[in-house]
Amino acid sequence: MRDGVVYQIYPRSFQDSDGDGVGDLAGIRSRLDHLVWLGVDALWMSPIYPSPMADFGYDVAGYMDVDPVFGDLAQFDALTEAAHERGLRVLMDVVPCHTSIEHPWFREHPDWYIWADRPNNWISAFGGSAWAPRDGRYYLHSFYPEQPDLDWRNPEVIEAMQDALRFWLDRGADGYRVDAIDRLLKDPQLRDDPPASQPFGLPLREDEAKLALTNSRNAPDTGAALAKIREACGDAFLVGEVYLPSARWQPYSDYFDAVFAFELLHSPWDAHLLRAAIEATTRQPRPAWVMSNHDFGRLSARFGERNARAAAMLLLTLPGPAFLYQGDEIGQGEGPPGATRFDRAGRDRHRHPMQWEGSPRGGFTTGEPWLPLTDPAERNVAGQRDDPTSMLSLVRELIALRRELGEQFEPLDAGEGIVAFRRGGHTVAINTTSEPLRVALEGELCIQTAAGALQDGRLAPHAGAIGVD
């Protein structure tokens, strides 16, 4: 997986097999050949565990089963077997920081969670206090109140979570995307977060930015808990969702195979800022590149529809694992901002169903989809698959080329508005502006974001090109 491409599947929205309007494991299995055709190396599924869906699966009510909305363990087994037969690895999404408040542990083992007699100033990821009252005390919830935080300094918690990790690996999973791992250990004395003395380095809400966030997350002894996760997982692939600037990745990079590069994901589409994000991240070990997902939005929305092809080229040519969110290979759009039916944080718009063909239901379901499709008539797999000029064909070409790129990475000074670098014998150049710009692309032209993007030494606006020696 050193340079592999991982395809993120949001199970509710990938493929429905039974007409209830919600995607499921059998549906994923039926679409595996799309992933093979695309050329990816692995798939990562957002959580499929039993859950009351207060946070759509990230509130886990049982770590060793499948929520009936997605299927059952037999269907999971069938999916992993079919994936492995096709040479695809399967990554689960594990949520070690917290459970659902409806998990039996919260009733049966309250000492497995973090409690205080009075709240401190810690803030929830969704705003407001991170403490909720219960039975005369307060429990910690770094996310929604329905998601109480586990106490990873309790050996019984560690043992239970190690059992859960081994359970899925024993059933055929090949690794994990580890959710919100920087929240795993907090200050054991539950001291207030001090005022911020310097910028955090990644986007924060205004209330969070006022605090240093040094006690509510990322405790100095986090490495001890990470070692227990690695012990349970052996050689399985682990990628961490660590919401920290890359310069602060240790100890996560000591125990994980890759760490998500949030500096690039949050960078505006500006050559100077993109270069800074890439160069800062590549100075650190084990970056995993991600430019969109179910929380932060689709590629075409984050960077603009006219930049989507160039953004895909950037994502798929950087060194290290790349994570491609379902639908981005066809440039799928988003739902309207603020149109929230389910997610209280307003993330429904990033999660609309996959568009397989141009009908109103897009080939996703025979029933009423849980969220409406966004633009199936304009963007769908069937309509793009045989079109050599399509976004889908470009992404497939880039994934195939990725296997030819060497480990070497050398940023190039290509002038204002251009992001350029060398990967082995290949040169990548991307124009982030609305004007054609001169570039010195070495070698023979092998891929362009659109026909004629590079002409007479000038790269078209919002375009990218790759040359090979």
Q: Strand pairing partners for 426?
A: 423, 468
The pLDDT score that the predictor gives to residue 336 is: 82
- pLDDT range class, residue 440, cuts 50, 70, 90: confident
Question: What does the domain layout of the chain look like in residue ranges?
Answer: 5-97+155-407
pLDDT for the residue 1: 78
Q: Is the pLDDT score of 410 beyond 90?
A: yes
Q: What is the pLDDT of residues 196-224, one digit of tens each?
A: 999 999 999 999 999 999 999 999 999 99
Output the pLDDT for position 234. Answer: 98
Across residues 139-164, what is the average pLDDT?
98
In one-letter notation, the amino acid at residue 465 is A
Query: What digits encode the pLDDT tens for the residues 80-138?
Result: 999 999 999 999 999 999 999 999 999 999 999 999 999 999 999 999 999 999 999 99
Task: Centre a 10 Å sphere on the Cβ of residue 102 and count the other Cβ atoms it contains.
Answer: 17
In the annotation, is 182 catalytic? no
pLDDT at residue 116, rounded to an integer: 98
419-424 mean pLDDT: 94
Residues near 235 by beta carbon (within 8 Å), at least 6 away in sequence: none
Q: Say which residues have a Cβ less than 8 Å from residue 446's Cβ, sequence separation at least 6.
A: 401, 426, 466, 467, 468
The predicted-structure confidence for 278-301, as pLDDT tens digits, reads as follows 999 999 999 999 999 999 999 999
Choosing from 24, 55, 182, 241, the catalytic residue is 241
Residue-wise pLDDT for 234-262, tens only, equals 999 999 999 999 999 999 999 999 999 99
CA distance 309 to 468: 19
Computed over every residue of the chain, the mean pLDDT equals 96
Would you state the torsion angle of the CA atoms of residues 71, 73, 78, 81, taken in this order, to the nearest 10 degrees?
140
Q: Where are the alpha helices (DSSP H) in 171-249?
A: 206-209, 222-233
Question: What's the fold here for domain 5-97+155-407?
Answer: TIM Barrel (3.20.20)
| Average of per-residue pLDDT across 59-67 | 98
The reply to whether 179 belongs to the active site is: yes
Which residue is catalytic, options 146, 149, 174, 179?
179
Helices 222-233 and 155-170 cross at an angle (nearest 10°) of 30
At 240, phi and psi to the nearest 5? -100, 135
Give pLDDT, residue 327: 98
Q: Is the pLDDT confidence value at 340 over 80?
A: no
